[in-house]
């Protein structure tokens, strides 16, 4: 199932349709031309002595070379291993050593290493079945079309780069505009000049695009919708784009399960701001308590996902695989609630939830309120031990505002037990390339004498 050659099939059906614009070089490639580049890359793998099932590290630059090598690897049957451009030499060596060990499974198309916000990155075994099912299911559920144009400015080595939009757009026969990296003014130029119709980003990027002067002046008449993923999206960002008349959706996915798992119509995105929508077709989702029992409507539970878009497990890591993959269900570690209409809303990470005075506290709720303060640019909340309450929150703030003002502000908006007991002001929050806050590093600011491993033990 889904073990064919996507790029070759698209080149067969619409050979002369534009597939890719490379901003750095100015190249504009049709599907036939892009497929030919991938065929050349596959031939080079053969010439270099690679055999089917061998792992092929690919430097993860946003480039035509990466796309050709990735699809060339799929054609030849080797296992692509995209490498982060932000990783240190030591981290790259860890990945190379990990993927080199062990025997390959025939159906693994690529190994995507997780961002490692909670420790050593794990190699997720992605089969072609997952890549293509996600591609076609996303195209159908999100109503992608052959006339869609979308910029790609997020890191392509990440699941959100290669799988979230590039493969789905190729399934639909649309066109991608490849940026070497994110530049706020260049992205706005691309949206206007290439008349982009659908745009995927993460909250930090949408915030930067929102703050740019182009939001007020850009011609957005050709835009069908924008969508955010990778991290929780504050309401005020959604509202800013809606005021410009742009439909703004929020998605959800993980490397292990898709990467896209939910869908919503443009109309629902307006009346359900903040929701990630309903599960895509053929995607099963459960919300469960600590005992694995389903929770009721509007109650918070851990999200478990099952479907043909779920990955095979973690490379060389049966312990982690057995902990997360149970009877076909993937335990996401994300907390969510489902309303009476079947729409889901993320409540936060299970490991980040803490209990203060016997009551559950969700950092994402506090963070959402903090970033709506006019002088707060960014915020994150982590839990620390407390003799009186068991655990309390500490808020890390980027902005020009004081602790007393923030305490007063939050007290008017959330229950007192949720208000952080301490505020730490920093120049920037440590984030992964896809916008997730690295909260382990924030805890090291509170407990500098402790290692990240010991911090994880506290969660």
CB 248 within 8 A of CB 225: yes
pLDDT band at residue 90 under the 50/70/90 scheme: confident
Task: Please report the sign of the dihedral spanned by the C-alpha atoms of residue 289, residue 410, residue 357, residue 378.
Answer: positive
Indicate whether 166 and 312 sit together in one domain: yes
Indicate whether 126 and 68 sit together in one domain: yes
Indicate whether 96 and 131 sit together in one domain: yes
Indicate whether 365 and 294 sit together in one domain: no
- Arithmetic mean of pLDDT, 387-404: 92
| CATH number for position 394 | 3.30.300.30
- Arithmetic mean of pLDDT, 53-79: 97
Indicate whether 157 and 178 sit together in one domain: yes
Q: What is the pLDDT of residue 40?
A: 98
Indicate whether 172 and 229 sit together in one domain: yes
pLDDT digits (tens, 9 = 90+) for 409-456: 999 999 899 999 999 999 999 988 777 888 888 988 877 654 444 333
Indicate whether 314 and 402 sit together in one domain: no
71 part of a folded domain: yes
Indicate whether 231 and 373 sit together in one domain: no
Identify the residue whose tokens are 């493969």: 167
Q: Give me the number of domains the chain comprises.
A: 2
Identify the burial level of 216 via C-beta atoms within 10 angstroms of its C-beta, where 0-12 means exposed, 13-18 middle and 19 or more buried: exposed
| CATH number for position 253 | 3.40.50.12780
Asked if residue 96 has pLDDT above 70, the reply is yes
Q: Which of 345, 373, 391 marks a domain boundary?
A: 345
Q: What is the pLDDT of residue 448?
A: 63
254 part of a folded domain: yes
Q: What is the pLDDT of residue 451?
A: 47
367 part of a folded domain: yes
Q: Helices 128-141 and 6-13 meet at what angle, rounded to 10?
A: 50
Q: Which of 345, 368, 399 marks a domain boundary?
A: 345
pLDDT band at residue 215 under the 50/70/90 scheme: very high
190 part of a folded domain: yes
152 part of a folded domain: yes
State how far Cα 94 lies from the chain centre: 23
Contacts of 232 (CB under 8 A, 6+ apart): 203, 346, 348, 364, 367, 368
Angle at 366 between CA 360 and CA 368, to 5 degrees: 135
> Per DSSP, which regions of 129-282 are E strands?
149-152, 175-178, 198-201, 225-228, 248-250, 262-263, 278-279
Contacts of 440 (CB under 8 A, 6+ apart): 117, 118, 119, 452, 455, 456
Q: What is the pLDDT of residue 104?
A: 67
Q: Among the listed ranges 74-83, 168-177, 259-268, 383-392, which one has the minimum average pLDDT value? A: 383-392
- Arithmetic mean of pLDDT, 103-125: 79
Indicate whether 212 and 175 sit together in one domain: yes
Asked if residue 323 has pLDDT above 90, the reply is yes
Indicate whether 249 and 281 sit together in one domain: yes
Indicate whether 327 and 380 sit together in one domain: no
Strand arrangement of the beta sheet that strand 198-201 belongs to: 198-201, 225-228, 248-250
pLDDT digits (tens, 9 = 90+) for 15-49: 999 999 999 999 999 999 999 999 999 999 999 99
Q: Which of 306, 326, 345 marks a domain boundary?
A: 345
pLDDT digits (tens, 9 = 90+) for 234-277: 888 899 999 999 999 999 989 999 899 999 999 999 899 889 99
42 part of a folded domain: yes
Q: Is 368 helix (H, G, I), strand (E, B) or coil?
A: helix
Q: What is the pLDDT of residue 204?
A: 84
1 part of a folded domain: no
Expressed as residue numbers, the domain containing 152 is 6-345
Q: Among the listed ranges 188-202, 347-361, 387-401, which one has the minimum average pLDDT value? A: 347-361
- Report the C-alpha gap between 235 and 203 in whole angstroms: 11
Indicate whether 333 and 366 sit together in one domain: no
- Arithmetic mean of pLDDT, 162-187: 97
Q: What is the pLDDT of residue 264?
A: 95
Q: What's this model's pTM, rounded to 2 decimal places?
A: 0.86
């Amino acid at each position: 199932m889904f073990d064919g050659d996507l790029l070759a099939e698209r080149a067969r059906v619409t050979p002369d349709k534009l597939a890719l614009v490379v901003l750095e070089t100015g190249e504009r490639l049709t599907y036939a031309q892009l497929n030919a580049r991938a065929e050349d890359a596959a031939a080079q793998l053969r010439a270099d002595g690679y055999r089917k099932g061998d792992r092929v590290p690919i430097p993860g630059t946003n480039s035509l070379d990466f796309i050709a090598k990735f699809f060339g690897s799929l054609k030849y049957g080797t296992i692509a291993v995209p490498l982060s451009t932000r990783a240190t030499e030591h981290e790259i060596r860890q990945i190379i050593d990990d993927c080199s060990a062990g025997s390959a499974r025939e159906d693994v198309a690529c190994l995507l290493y997780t961002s490692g916000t909670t420790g050593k990155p794990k190699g997720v075994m992605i089969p072609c079945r997952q890549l293509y099912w996600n591609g076609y299911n996303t195209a159908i559920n999100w109503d992608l079309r052959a006339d869609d144009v979308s910029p790609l400015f997020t890191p392509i080595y990440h699941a959100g780069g290669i799988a979230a939009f590039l493969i789905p757009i190729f399934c639909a026969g649309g066109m991608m505009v490849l940026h070497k990296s994110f530049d706020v003014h260049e992205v706005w130029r691309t949206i206007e000049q290439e008349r982009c119709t659908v745009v995927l980003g993460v909250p930090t990027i949408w915030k930067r695009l929102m703050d740019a002067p182009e939001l007020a002046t850009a011609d957005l008449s050709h835009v069908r919708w924008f969508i955010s993923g990778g991290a929780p999206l504050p309401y005020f960002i959604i509202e800013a784009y809606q005021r410009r008349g742009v439909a703004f959706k929020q998605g959800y996915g993980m490397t292990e399960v898709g990467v896209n798992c939910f869908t919503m119509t443009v109309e629902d995105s307006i009346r359900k701001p903040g929701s990630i929508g309903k599960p895509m077709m053929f995607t099963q989702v459960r919300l469960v308590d600590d005992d694995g029992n389903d929770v009721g409507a509007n109650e918070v539970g851990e999200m478990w996902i099952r479907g043909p878009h779920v990955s095979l497990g973690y490379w060389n890591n049966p312990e982690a695989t057995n902990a997360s993959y149970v009877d076909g269900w993937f335990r996401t570690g994300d907390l969510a609630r489902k309303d009476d209409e079947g729409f889901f809303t993320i409540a936060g990470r299970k490991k980040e939830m803490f209990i203060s005075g016997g009551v559950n506290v969700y950092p994402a709720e506090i963070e959402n309120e903090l970033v709506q303060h006019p002088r707060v640019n960014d915020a994150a909340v982590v839990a620390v031990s407390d003799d009186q309450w068991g655990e309390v929150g500490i808020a890390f703030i980027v902005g020009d505002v004081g602790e007393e003002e923030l305490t007063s502000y939050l007290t008017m908006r959330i229950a007192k037990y949720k208000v952080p007991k301490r505020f730490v002001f920093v120049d920037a929050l440590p984030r992964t390339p896809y916008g997730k806050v690295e909260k382990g590093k924030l805890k090291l600011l509170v407990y500098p004498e402790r290692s990240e491993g010991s911090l994880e033990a506290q969660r």
